[in-house]
Amino acid sequence: MPNKTILIVEDDEIILRSLYLTLHGEGFTIATAEDGQTAYEMTERMTPDLILLDLVLPKKNGFEYLREKQSNKKIDKIPVVVLSNLSGEENINRATDLGAIDYFVKSNTDLEVLVEKIRTII
């Protein structure tokens, strides 16, 4: 099976490093972006197998990213898993309405559970 590529979109350096090390250690190829605008440009350029998306981001927030991605036929089918500190049903519903296939709250998420979920998706 060829390497699957995950684009991690996260502006917190510590969280980004932790996700990178964990997922890379699980055999995934990892690309990273620290803001929504860069993430969108990278998504168009490289078409990753999965996007792990924070919602609170500089330049373009995760909701704006999802809206633009959803309207782009080239990339609209790439699965997105949200990993954010924003909790609450309203945020979860908004993200899933914009195409996110799952939603994890950072403070409540075990990395092993996240890795398993990613494996079931890709």
Q: Average pLDDT for consecutive 10-residue bins of the chain (122 residues)?
A: 88 96 96 97 96 97 98 96 96 97 95 95 94
pLDDT at position 84: 97
If one counts the domains in the chain, the total is 1
Say what the alpha-carbon torsion angle 14, 37, 82, 43 is, to the nearest 10 degrees.
Answer: -110
Give residue 102's domain range: 5-121
pLDDT at position 41: 97
pLDDT at position 113: 95
pTM value is 0.95
CB neighbourhood size of 51 (10 A): 26
The answer to whether residues 15 and 105 touch, using CB atoms and an 8 Å cutoff, is no
Q: How far apart are CA 24 and CA 16, in angstroms?
A: 12
pLDDT at position 2: 59
pLDDT at position 90: 97
What CATH number is attached to the domain comprising 77? 3.40.50.2300
